[in-house]
């Protein structure tokens, strides 16, 4: 009998905090890599090198446009072994690509610092983001599946939530640490940061999951592989799902909310440099500010509303988005007025709303999924989030450049872009108010759902 076949089922396995914490340590490398690639690199390119924001945003958004890879990788890790493992090999292969990508990030800055039109420099940048994005997508779904497999059924949603919360926590820790390490751009320091991220990230990406699969993968995974040919065809299922008006509206809601929420991502640090005249040390902390607030309110919301059924979280999600809009509006106001010192407050308000929305939004994603076709529904919601996060990254960058191209000052260009994002967040609240969540839940028998049934698809709402 193989090691996989010897494992306990999710119903009989015991929840293990040491195993959960070891799995969560995997997120240390993930946070360090993302801060380096999508926070520091873009600030240097836009503010220090004077590059337009739209090609930077497009490169950062590349992995989100490739998001169907995550569904393919997740499905493969359910049904097909790679080098003797269902989950582990896919995860290590993907993270290996991410480690390999980071030297190209360093090489791109070395080439582009002297000449922003250097072709080889842009080739290095494209290689970096292509490898990093594909690696993220190939390993992300199998990792979350491994986390889910490692816990008994009653604790699977909690296990995923812990792992994703740890990711947000280390986003904040990594951002603050990097900000003290490199106060202003220095090629030698940046090289040290890249090497350190490769070493530390590679270590935790290896140790975090080493041997976990042999301890946790239940026999039903092998059954899925055996009966893979009996699975329902995807496209007829998706056609059935899309025919429901409530499903279409929820897709629009989720897409608009995600698009608007992430329009700030690429241009936030350059805004601090170009308009507020802040140092790199100060702007690198911006993500840490709002993500810290997100963790606090996410944990608080989970505790305060833990007894409320997921079907009843529509109002929670709406209030979260409204608070996010208030924070985004304050960032716009800071840009328009200048020197009013609203940025830290605005980021904390935005992050607080993000945490509340994330809790409510994850609950609604579980509700807006039938038991029969849960995988297809959650796959649709996941693609919506990933693609429109990428579009948000690109749109925010593009609008900033377009307004500058029209001759507007930087404070007006950034301010109008943030204001458009504010309108998008408020618009998503209006769309949400028109979705019959309760009716969908009733039609699909979801009123028996408990908060423990909510499975986090990731907190990048």
* 202 in the same domain as 254: no
* 236 in the same domain as 226: no
pLDDT-above-90 percentage for the chain: 35
Average the pLDDT over 155-167 and give the result: 72
* 156 in the same domain as 240: no
Q: Quick one: pLDDT band at residue 176, thresholds 50, 70, 90?
A: confident
Average the pLDDT over 407-420 and give the result: 95
Q: Which residues contact 246 (CB under 8 A, 6 or more apart)?
A: 368, 435, 436, 437, 439, 440
pLDDT for 281 equals 79
Which residue, of 175, 210, 230, is where some domain finishes?
230
Asked if residue 272 lies in contact with residue 283, where contact means CB atoms within 8 angstroms, the answer is yes
* 179 in the same domain as 279: no
Beta strands in 299-426 (DSSP E): none
Checking if the pLDDT of 321 tops 70, the result is: yes
pLDDT tens track for 102-137: 999 999 999 988 787 889 999 999 999 999 999 988
Name the one residue in this structure whose structure tokens are 């911006």.
286
Nearest-angstrom CA–CA distance, 164 and 159: 9
Name the one residue in this structure whose structure tokens are 């990508």.
101
Crossing angle for the helix pair 53-65 and 119-149, to the nearest 10 degrees: 40
* 272 in the same domain as 162: no
Which residue, of 177, 206, 230, is where some domain finishes?
230
Checking if the pLDDT of 345 tops 70, the result is: yes
pLDDT for 452 equals 42
* 218 in the same domain as 252: no
Which residue, of 230, 250, 283, is where some domain finishes?
230
* 292 in the same domain as 170: no
Residue 82, beta-bridge partner list: 85
Domain count across the chain: 2
* 137 in the same domain as 3: yes
pLDDT for 414 equals 95
User: HSE of 82 in the Cβ direction (CA atoms, 13 Å)?
Assistant: 18
* CATH value at residue 108: 1.20.1250.20
**Torsion angle in degrees (nearest 10) through CA of 261, 449, 295, 99:** -80
Residue span of the structural domain in which 55 resides: 1-230
pLDDT tens track for 71-105: 677 767 766 778 877 788 889 999 999 999 999 99
* 311 in the same domain as 201: no
Look at residues 172, 215, 213 and name the one whose alpha carbon lies nearest to residue 27: 172
Nearest-angstrom CA–CA distance, 42 and 64: 17
* 439 in the same domain as 382: yes
pLDDT for 62 equals 83
Checking if the pLDDT of 294 tops 50, the result is: yes
Average pLDDT, the chain: 82
* 298 in the same domain as 170: no
* 210 in the same domain as 253: no
Q: Which residue has the higher pLDDT, 206 or 363?
A: 206
Nearest-angstrom CA–CA distance, 178 and 281: 8
Look at residues 217, 268, 197 and name the one whose alpha carbon lies nearest to residue 85: 217
């Amino acid at each position: 009998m193989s090691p996989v076949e010897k494992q306990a089922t999710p119903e009989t396995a015991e929840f293990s905090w040491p195993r959960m914490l070891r799995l969560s340590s995997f997120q240390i490398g993930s946070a360090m890599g993302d801060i380096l690639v999508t926070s520091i690199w873009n600030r240097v390119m836009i503010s220090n090198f004077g590059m337009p924001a739209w090609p930077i945003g497009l490169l950062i958004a590349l992995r989100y446009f490739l998001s169907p890879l995550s569904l393919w990788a997740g499905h493969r890790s359910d049904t097909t072994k790679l080098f003797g493992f269902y989950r582990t090999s896919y995860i290590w292969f993907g993270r290996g690509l991410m480690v390999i990508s980071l030297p190209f990030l360093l090489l791109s800055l070395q080439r582009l610092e002297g000449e922003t039109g250097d072709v080889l420099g842009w080739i290095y940048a494209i290689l970096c983001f292509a490898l990093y994005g594909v690696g993220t997508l190939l390993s992300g779904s199998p990792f979350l599946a491994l986390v889910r497999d490692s816990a008994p059924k009653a604790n699977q949603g909690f296990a995923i939530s812990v792992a994703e919360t740890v990711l947000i926590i280390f986003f904040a820790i990594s951002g603050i640490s990097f900000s003290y390490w490199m106060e202003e751009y220095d090629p030698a320091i940046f090289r040290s940061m890249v090497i350190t991220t490769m070493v530390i990230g590679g270590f935790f990406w290896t140790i975090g999951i080493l041997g976990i699969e042999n301890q946790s993968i239940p026999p039903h995974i092998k059954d899925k592989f055996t009966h893979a040919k009996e699975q329902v065809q995807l496209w007829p299922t998706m056609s059935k799902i899309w025919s429901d008006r409530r499903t279409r509206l929820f897709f629009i809601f989720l897409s608009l909310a995600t698009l608007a929420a992430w329009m700030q991502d690429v241009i936030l640090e350059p805004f601090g440099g170009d308009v507020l005249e802040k140092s790199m040390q100060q702007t690198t902390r911006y993500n840490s500010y709002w993500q810290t607030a997100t963790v606090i309110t996410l944990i608080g919301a989970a505790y305060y509303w833990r007894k409320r059924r997921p079907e009843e979280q529509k109002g929670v999600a709406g209030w979260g988005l409204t608070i996010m809009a208030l924070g985004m509006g304050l960032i716009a106001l800071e840009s328009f007025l200048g020197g009013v010192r609203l940025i830290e407050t605005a980021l904390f308000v935005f992050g607080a709303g993000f945490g509340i929305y994330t809790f409510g939004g994850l609950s609604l994603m579980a509700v807006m999924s039938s038991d029969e076709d849960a995988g297809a529904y959650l796959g649709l919601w996941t693609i919506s989030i990933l693609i429109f996060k990428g579009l948000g990254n690109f749109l925010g960058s593009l609008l900033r450049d377009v307004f500058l191209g029209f001759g507007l000052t930087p404070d007006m260009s950034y301010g109008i872009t943030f204001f458009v994002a504010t309108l998008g967040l408020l618009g998503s609240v209006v769309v949400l108010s028109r979705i019959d969540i309760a009716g969908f839940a009733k039609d699909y028998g979801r009123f028996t759902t408990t908060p423990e049934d909510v499975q986090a698809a990731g907190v990048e709402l």
